[in-house]
Amino acid sequence: MDKTKLIETVLSRGVEEIIDRSSLEKKLASEKTLRVKLGIDPTSPDIHLGHTVVLRKLRQFQDLGHKVVLIIGDFTAQIGDPSGKSETRPALSKDEVERNFKKYLKQAGKVIDIKKAEVFYNSAWYEKGIQPFLKLTRSATIQQVLKRDDFEKRMRGGNDISVLEILYPLFQGYDSVMVKADVELGGTDQKFNLLMGRRVQRSFGMPEQDVLTVPLIEGTDGVRKMSKSYGNYIALDDEPNDMFGKIMAVPDGLVAKYFTTLTDIDAPKNLGARDAKMLLAETIISEYHSSKDAKGAREEWIRVFSKKETPDDVAELKVSKKISVIDLLIKAGIESKSEARRLIEQGGVTIGDETKKDPAEVLNLRSGTILKIGKRRFFRIS
């Protein structure tokens, strides 16, 4: 892709908002190497497809020759980002942050060129003393910080806001000062923090960074944003067959958005929903695994879910001959009895050819019987 087309892709594909667009257009058209910042509070070691939306945008900047700057919030993660939170988020220890980030960085390397990125831990400048902190607190007023939607909603609901949370946007903004950011990226839920970076830079006599926000994508339920806590995520480390099945379960209305934000190709207009999703799944799996894995996952999905056959590779589940349906699901890895009961009552559990509806039913199992939980989990009883 030539430079003009790539610049247009940076500015338009999978972009929610740019502040200031004219400024960023001029910077991209110049010969200057831009410093493009992304702040990461690694609260979890796992990356899902939702995280890759902004990482893919970073890669586009890299392809134009610009410098990616990753800020690892080992200091700020111990405070907790209040963005979109209805209550104070539990703080992480420094050890937890470091463990999470090692795995995060390895997975992020599937999207961006980590070797060409600069990586900073923001504890490097926050643990040096109180003077920079005191200067930082003059960058904004309490009224300005409390205007953010999350805080207003929490105050109306009578929920607490800690002083540290009020300071969080300032800390994130100071990161932009320390790394001399020209551009900062983030999801739409980060807009307040990203704009605070501009304010803090201005307070320190620096040129203001441009801000580019990307959309948050809904998860496999089609309703809430993709998140591990909601269980509606597709992880980069998912096995190809699992990834294919999850993408095929995505509501049809999300397919075009997934193509735009998660791939380099547009949603095909000449394919039905099923075939479009299969193309989407193959494209994504090819990127994070291989084209061979993608082809194999497609064939397996067609065989199991279209032809309603049993997968070739079925996990063995050793249980006693007589066991209740609900206890069988717990043995199979369902995390709680309430979740197991919900699956059973919704008709999501099949043993042999029979769908089970009574959680308390005691089974008399035979070796070789197939247990199916939901659409994608199979076990062979032994």
Strands ordered across the beta sheet of 183-187 = 17-19, 210-214, 183-187, 35-40, 67-72, 118-121
What rounded mean pLDDT belongs to the chain? Answer: 83
Shared-domain flag, residues 375 and 352: yes
pLDDT for 179 equals: 95
Tens of pLDDT, residue by residue over 290-325, are 999 999 999 988 887 766 666 666 678 788 778 888
Please list, in sequence order, all residues whose beta carbon lies within 8 angstroms of the beta carbon of residue 299, skipping any fewer than 6 positions away.
Answer: none
Give the model's pLDDT for residue 123. Answer: 83
In angstroms, the CA 255 to CA 266 distance is 10
State residue 135's pLDDT score: 61
The predicted model gives 2-7 an average pLDDT of: 90
- Let me know if residue 200 belongs to a domain: yes
177 three-class SS: helix
Indicate whether 69 and 170 sit together in one domain. yes
* Shared domain check, 320 and 299: no
Which of 156, 184, 214 is the C-terminal boundary of a domain?
Answer: 214
Tokens encoding 34? 């831009």
Q: Identify the domain boundary among 187, 214, 241.
A: 214
Residue 181 lies in a domain: yes
Q: Are residues 41 and 142 in the same domain?
A: yes
What distance, in Å, lies between the first and last C-alpha atoms of the chain? 55
Q: Do 86 and 194 belong together in one domain?
A: yes
Q: Confirm whether 235 is domain-assigned.
A: yes
Distance CA 283, CA 298 (A): 11
Q: Where are the beta strands (DSSP E) in the chain?
A: 17-19, 35-40, 67-72, 118-121, 183-187, 210-214, 315-317, 322-324, 349-351, 354-355, 362-364, 370-373, 377-381
- Identify the domain containing residue 163 by its residue range: 3-214
Are both 125 and 150 inside the same structural domain? yes
Strands (E) in 283-376, as ranges, are 315-317, 322-324, 349-351, 354-355, 362-364, 370-373
Q: Which residue has the tokens 């509806």?
A: 357
The verdict on residue 116 lying in a domain is: yes
What are 156-185's pLDDT values in tens digits?
666 655 555 667 788 888 899 999 999 999
pTM of the model: 0.74
Structure tokens at 17: 């908002």
Structural tokens at position 128: 């040096």
Tell me how far apart the alpha carbons of residues 380 and 382 are, in angstroms, rounded to a whole number: 6
Map residue 86 onto helix, strand or coil. Answer: coil
Tens digit of each residue's pLDDT (9 = 90 or more) over 150-162:
555 655 666 655 5
Q: What is the CATH number of the domain that holds 197?
A: 3.40.50.620
Question: Which CATH number belongs to the domain containing residue 343 in this structure?
Answer: 3.10.290.10
Q: Are residues 12 and 30 in the same domain?
A: yes
State the virtual CA torsion across 128, 132, 137, 139 in degrees, nearest 10.
Answer: -140
Considering its fold, how many domains does the chain have in total?
3
Question: Do 272 and 131 belong together in one domain?
Answer: no
For residues 140 and 90, the answer to whether their CB atoms sit within 8 Å is no
Structure tokens at 191: 């807009």
Residue 199 included in any domain: yes
Task: Judge whether 323 lies within some domain.
Answer: yes
Residue 320 and residue 239 in one domain: no
Please tell me whether residues 15 and 116 are part of one structural domain: yes
The last residue of one of the domains, among 265, 283, 306, is: 306
Q: 44: burial class by Cβ within 10 Å (0-12, 13-18, 19+)?
A: middle
Kindly give the residue spans of alpha helices, DSSP state H, lying in 216-324: 240-248, 255-262, 273-288, 291-301
- Note whether residue 14 is domain-resident: yes
Q: What's residue 344's pLDDT? A: 84
Both 165 and 69 in one domain: the answer is yes
Looking at the fold, whether 296 and 326 belong to one and the same domain comes out as: no
The CA-based dihedral angle spanning residues 79, 68, 18, 73, taken in that order and rounded to the nearest 10 degrees = 0
Count of residues in the chain: 382
Give the model's pLDDT for residue 6: 93
Distance (Å, rounded) from C-alpha 149 to C-alpha 230? 22
In a domain, 223, yes or no: no
Mention every residue, 6+ apart, whose C-beta is less than 8 A from residue 115: none
